[in-house]
Amino acid sequence: MTMECHRNSDVPYFAFPIRRESGTSQFSTSNHLQERPLMLNVQAAEILRLADGERSLNEIMDYFERRYPHVEPSLLREKILQVLDAMTRTELIWWRDKPVRLHAIEPPRTIFWEITSLCNLKCLHCVVSAGKRNSDELSVDRCFELIREMAGFGVQNIAFSGGEPLMHPEFKNLAEAVAASGMSIQVATNGTLVTREIAQWLRDLRADVQVSLDGSTSLIHDKMRPGNRAFEKAVRGIRHLLGAGHVLTVGSVVSKNNRHDIKNIITLCENLGVQNFRLIPFVPKGRGGTFAGMEITASEMKAITEMLISERKRRKINIIPLEFEKMVQGTACVQPASPGQSLGCGGARAYGTITPAGELLPCHFFEGVRADSVAGHAFADVWIQSRFLNYFRSLTVHDLHGACRDCRWLSACAGSCRAINFAKGDVFGANKGCWIAEEIENDGVAATA
Ligand SMILES: C[S@@+](CC[C@H](N)C(=O)[O-])C[C@H]1O[C@@H](n2cnc3c(N)ncnc32)[C@H](O)[C@@H]1O
Ligand code: SF4
Ligand code: SF4
């Protein structure tokens, strides 16, 4: 990740958990970029703990000089810089221009909860690489506690995802506990396991359901979602849900495999009686990251967005607005971004994701990052104190560079979703999923609207 990975700024920011290696005096840390954890001695672990984004390099140096008065200060500085530079090279340390100062952190409105990594399908593009149940999944008892903690903290919606949430052996009881706590429920499912009874039960819980359909035929859908008649079963699930009276959303991840089929998927949904259609941009992460080449280009995304805008006018189904639609239509607000305007979407602020192992992330597209976990810590504490979340909360649109910085819609979109950029190692660069950024980079100006 080419964050601000150079030492000419003042404030080192280390965002990852440090673990003590059992039975030794060593510690370890890792992020998604390392295959193996990085071993740390006591001093290195201490330096990283102090690199909390609130202290400048000089303050960290002063701290160590006070703590080790017998060590020659220049030697001490050299050692500290060695650790920070090594961590910067491995991209575990990011640098900020000034200390991070966060104000009151509100509870998230919605938590997307990947309740299990278990799945009956093994989709080629799966961002969470679901399939087998991981051995480190949250215990069922901890899941019930978490529901109480999240409701008590003020979370309003739980959006169950996975893996396939319906595969979780306790899903029924967990969902009922969420409903009893007063939080509302959303469920993202591949639809294949939805029986008439499950559809009715979800309806009784007033759950908002989204079913994935990545093609209008088994040929296209099952290519992305290999499994035992995945398409046929998903359509059967959709029929059961509609039969039970759900207002249903179908979500399609757009890729090279189905870009030509989007209109057909919408038609199929309309014919089935589905109420909402959501197009989901493909993010090359998880198993999807190993399928380079599946991603459509930013300009193809522009053409699809224009197509959806025109389809919306003649369709009964509600086509949920896409990210950069307002810019195509010229209805986005054009005004300078305010100095403190937060960067990106509502991840780490309005919503977050709990992974099957309990890690709390801005959203599921940050899969693979080793962030603080709610497995052994109270939800509210992790939400408020997580360095990884606080890092994203501390970013503003003025951290951006490249085309987004020059874009007239910056205040309207705040640089948008940063997940693709994060996956490609350039959080602050021009948005890699936005054709307007591409136009500005190529022509110096946005051709759009
Ligand atoms: C990980 S799935 C879990 C829920 C359920 N198993 C399903 O497939 O709908 C949640 C959502 O993420 C979408 N998704 C999976 N991989 C993705 C990727 N690489 N990029 C964007 N969305 C992805 C799925 O299509 C689905 O809408
Ligand atoms: S996208 Fe959903 S259905 Fe497909 S493997 Fe991932 S979790 Fe399973
Ligand atoms: S170029 Fe950047 S700021 Fe402009 S619309 Fe695209 S993502 Fe938003």
Per-residue pLDDT tens digits for 195-251: 999 999 999 999 999 999 999 999 999 999 997 899 999 999 999 999 999 999 999
Q: Minimum-distance ligand to the CA of 252?
A: 1
Find, among 258, 254, 212, 244, the residue nearest to 231 by Cα. 212
H helices, E strands: number in the chain: 17, 14
Q: Minimum-distance ligand to the CA of 291?
A: 1
Residue entry with tokens 């950024």 = 437
Residues 6 or more apart whose Cβ sits within 8 Å of residue 118? 130, 131, 132, 133, 162, 163, 164, 167, 168
> Read out DSSP for 187-205?
EEE-STT--HHHHHHHHHT
Which band of pLDDT confidence, cut at 50, 70 and 90, is reported for residue 170? very high
Ligand 2: which residues within 6 Å by Cβ? 119, 121-123, 126, 128, 130, 162-164, 190, 225
> Read out DSSP for 28-96?
EE--TT-SSPEEE-HHHHHHHHH-BSSS-HHHHHHHHHHH-TTS-HHHHHHHHHHHHHHHHHTT-EEEE
Mutation test residue for ligand 1: of 129, 214, 249, 280, the one with most atoms within 8 Å of CB = 280
Find, among 137, 94, 89, the residue nearest to 422 by Cα. 94
Find, among 291, 271, 412, the residue nearest to 341 by Cα. 412
Per-residue pLDDT tens digits for 270-283: 999 999 999 998 98
Measured in Å, residue 213 CA sits from the centre of ligand 3 at 28
Give pLDDT, residue 4.
44
Query: Residue 269: how many CB atoms within 10 A of its CB?
Result: 25
Contact between residue 344 and residue 392 where contact means Cβ atoms under 8 Å apart: yes
Contact between residue 326 and residue 383 where contact means Cβ atoms under 8 Å apart: no
Q: Which atom of ligand 1 is nearest to the CA of 114?
A: 3
The encoded tokens of residue 10 equal 């003042």
Q: What are phi and psi of 17, to 5 degrees?
A: -70, 150
* Spatial separation of the C-alpha atoms in residues 51 and 92, rounded to whole Å: 11
Per-residue pLDDT tens digits for 53-110: 999 999 999 999 999 999 999 999 999 999 999 888 877 888 888 888 887 899 999 9
